[in-house]
Structure 1
Amino acid sequence: MKILLIHCHYRLPGGEDAVFAAERALLERHGHTVVVYERSNEEAAHGLAKLLLPLRAVWNFAAAREVRALIAREKPDAIHIHNTLLLLSPAVVRAAKQSGVPVVQSLHNFRLFCPNGILLRECAVCEDCPHKGLSCALRHHCYRGSLLQTAVVAAAYGLHRRLGTWRGVTVVALTDFDRRKLLEYNRMCPTFDAERLVVKPNPVCVEPRPILPWHQRKNQCLFAGRLEELKGLPTVLEAWQQLGDTAPDLLVAGEGPLGEWAKSHAGPKVRFLGQLSPAELHRHMAESKAVVAASLCYESFALVPAEAHLLGTPVLASDLGNVGASVQPGIDGLRFAPGDAHALAGAVEALHTAAFDCDAIAAAARRTYSEEENYRALLRLYTKEAP
């Protein structure tokens, strides 16, 4: 097949950029011809382009024209759109749809209904925009703390929702939790065709390695992620303080705004590793009794729990959003109330009497996240007329 991939890179590389690159490489390895239309928001960082960005974010006529010309020239069998914010605008979705070629768009966040994309305000879950309208985002300056930038994003998605831009497009949710939330919001503000919403997880890359049995693992837990309140780091450190001498070692991997604060509030059982390479991170995951995922938001995709499960490692997860939904208590981890250090401490103590089947955890994760399963899911998206 010939696949056209469309993507707008953020100025700072993020998870969506990584998924775009991974799926492009996956298709190419399987012998497909991949045509790419990609731009970067860095192009609009200065001068006249920066002044025009608010208009282009709502409707980029030039990008839509270029996409139409590319489709006419290359004649792809399917079109897969990832990110259009800010520079491309949803106008490229309309241009792709008008070509008559099957169009897929991955929803890497909740931006169709929430300008900041993550349903979060002041480190707490917020669903005001889906329930009450986009004016809520304007009132709270939800996108980057700016009224102007929030107004631009709200205008773009508000206009294209009314125009039915995503009608007739196969939209992809990353998880079952995301699917349920998107359907809930879509019933209140019809934006896409509910029957065209499908679930396909992101590809998760972990180098194959032997799975350590539960009884051979080190008496340690791992926290991996950006060191910030949103990821629940204060909750984790407080739980380890409550556990005292009975706590397993806690390895903290990552960097972030709470780094110095965390080091000054950590007990003797906590060790900070800094930013690790994927290989180093996965080695520590594979040796640990559990990975701690204490997020205070829904998360768009629970990457760290998925990586841990592929290595056969149980996850102690806050019972919220995709992090909580990624865990089956007693089978591949335990859940605790989000933001509740006492509940997390109890989950850590429960590890003393647990006996997880690490091989079974890894086998189940491979069925969901493996490269081959991801490839088969992509082909199903590109070849079927409608879900």
Structure 2
Amino acid sequence: MHVVILAEFAVPSGGAEKVALESAHGLAAAGHEVTYIQAVDGAVDPLLDHPRLRRVCLGLHDAWTRPALAAALSGIWNRTAAERLARALAGLPRAPDCIHLHQWTRSLSPSIFPVLFGTGAPVVLTLHDYFLACPNGVHYRFDRDEPCGHAPLSAGCVAAPCDSRSRAHKLVRVARTAALRWAIGPRRLHVVHICDESRVRMGSMLGGYALEHHRVDNPVRVTREPPASPAAGDALVYVGRMTREKGADLVAEAAHGAGLRALFIGSGPLEAELRGRPGVEVLGWQTPEAARAVLRQRARALAAPSRWFETGPLTVYEALAAGIPAIVSERSGASEKVRHGAGGFVVAPDPDALAAAVAALADETRAAAMGTAAYADFWARPMTMAAHARDLSLLYDSIVPNRSCAAQQSRGPAPVGAVPDTRDLNIA
């Protein structure tokens, strides 16, 4: 089977790209022919170096690096993105059996959807966020620091000053969401939910689309090693962007109350504020390998107390795989993987609830027992790249129509390895 993976970057700048890269590598390792199309030129992760994987770059610009007006217009409808994507797909030596999209908001825009549907191949979109329905993508009121209660594109939604940047950004995003609804229209779109709660919540927000819903766990790039020793850890660790919606401020408060260090890996708007608090240590962004090493050496527990309905923070699963207890928000999709009171705690995203969980883990015996349970739970049903590729293969097999076989035959046999004249092709 020939699978096209479409994402905006070829490095893990966020969770969506990380999953896209690991999916591409896992599918190639499982024997599929994979074409990875990246929208924005730049660095390339070594995961894409595989003999059954070709890479195509569209040479587009990240909207965040462009002047405001140009970024706004291209965000609503990027004609160049559609044209270059159409050329890239037409130039492949073999028609895709399936196209899997992971991110489209920073360079591609809704303009790509008619191009994708025009291939005749099933189109799959993983819902890493809420952009398919919600203009700001997280269904969260940044002006109130609370989840949003409005129906997407309702009068209340359009009027709400909920964007993390400005009212002007909100209006642009409203226009983009309207363009998205028009671009998809009545066409059948396969959506992948990465947690059960997302399927329930998003199902009520997506009434205007013809969707097929699927459930596949995200992959976690881990190998099985002996479990860590959380009882020896001296810190409550937070990994990711330091923002209020992710609850970074709650971590600092809870750790201080329990007599632990609050150790932050990452950066973000709250970084300066957090650095000024007692007992806080900020390491900045680290490589995945360095972050995992810090977790194993320093973590009594990992904390992810999101205030927004986060779909599935990968750092939680990485901690569980290492035998480190996780304290997660009840609003997070990761809560489905944490047995409350066994491998960690599922709590409300407020200071008192988080502080009580951290205080319980101050007991070394309990921290050790919870680490053992976390490790056993994860490896009983591991969310590895191989498991992810297996589940995606089953999904693709169920949706690829028989007529794709005839299309493959008309284009010739599938290549055994990489195709030299299309590998690392730049369409720009």
Name the structure 2 match of 1:203.
219
2:51 — aligned with what? Answer: none
Please report the TM-score for the alignment, with normalisation by the length of structure 2. Answer: 0.76
Structure having the larger proportion of residues in helix:
1
Letter in 2 for 1:282: R
Unaligned runs of 5+ in 1: none
On the 8 A contact 1:202/1:369 being kept in 2, the answer is yes
Q: Distance in 1 between matches of 2:239 and 2:76?
A: 36
Q: Are residues 1:83 and 2:96 paired?
A: no
2:273 aligned with 1:261? yes
Query: Is 1:378 paired with 2:389?
Result: no
Contact 1:302 1:326 (C-alpha < 8 Å) held by counterparts: no
| 8 A contact 1:314–1:356 mirrored in 2 | no
Change (3 A) 1:242 1:166: farther
Residue pair 1:104, 1:381 contacting (<8 A) in 2 also: no
- The one of 32, 37, 42 equivalent to 2:61 is 42
Q: Which residue of 2 aligns with 1:317?
A: 328
Deviations 1:66-106 (A, max 9, x none): 44454445311111112222542323222222332122111
Structure 2 matches for 1:86-235, cutoff 5 A?
A: 86-122=106-142, 124-130=145-151, 133=154, 136-140=157-161, 142=163, 144-147=165-168, 149-162=169-182, 164-165=184-185, 167-186=187-206, 189-193=207-211, 196-212=212-228, 217-235=232-250
Question: Partner letter of residue 140 of structure 1?
Answer: P
Q: Which residue of 2 aligns with 1:304?
A: 315
RMSD of the alignment, in Å? 3.2
Once residues 207 and 10 of structure 1 are traced to their aligned partners in structure 2, the CA distance between those partners, rounded to angstroms, is 22
The correspondence for 1:344, drawn from 342, 350, 354, is 354
Question: What corresponds to 2:423 in structure 1?
Answer: none
Higher mean C-alpha displacement, 254-263 vs 55-64: 55-64
Find the aligned partners of 2:217 and 2:139 in 1 and give their Cα distance.
Answer: 20
Query: Relative to structure 1, is the Cα distance of residues 102 and 134 closer, same or farther in structure 2, using a 3 angstrom cutoff?
Result: farther
Q: In the TM superposition, what is the alpha-carbon distance from 1:185 to its structure 2 partner?
A: 1.6
2:102–2:125: 8 Å Cα contact kept in structure 1?
yes
Aligned-residue offset at 1:201: 2.5
The answer to whether the 8 A contact 1:119-1:125 is kept is no
Return the letter of the residue paired with 1:144. R
Q: Distance in 2 between matches of 1:83 and 1:373?
A: 22
Are residues 314 and 55 of structure 1, via their aligned partners in 2, closer, same or farther at CA, if it must alter by over 3 Å?
same
Q: Which residue of 2 aligns with 1:273?
A: 283
Map of 1:333 onto structure 2: 344
Q: Give the superposition deviation at 1:139.
A: 4.1
1:40-89 CA-to-partner distances (Å, cap 9, x unmatched) read 36266558xx7565454444445445444544453111111122225423
* Number of matched pairs: 373
SS in 2 for 1:169: strand
- Identity within the alignment, %: 27
Tell whether the 8 Å contact from 1:293 to 1:317 is kept in structure 2 after alignment: yes
State the 1:129 CA deviation.
4.2
**CA distance in structure 2 between the aligned counterparts of 1:84 and 1:11, rounded to whole angstroms:** 15
Q: Looking at both structures, which has the greater relative contact order when contacts are Cα pairs under 8 Å and sequence separation is at least 6?
A: 2
Structure 2 alignment gaps of length 5 or more: 41-59, 401-428
The whole-number CA distance in structure 1 between the counterparts of 2:75 and 2:328 is: 37
* Pair 197,262 (structure 1): closer, same or farther in 2 beyond 3 Å: same
- Three-state SS of the structure 1 residue aligned to 2:130 is coil
CA displacement at 1:107 relative to structure 2? 1.7
Name the counterpart of 2:15.
Answer: 15
**Bigger shift: residues 123-132 or 325-334:** 123-132
**Residue among 296, 299, 321 paired with 1:286:** 296
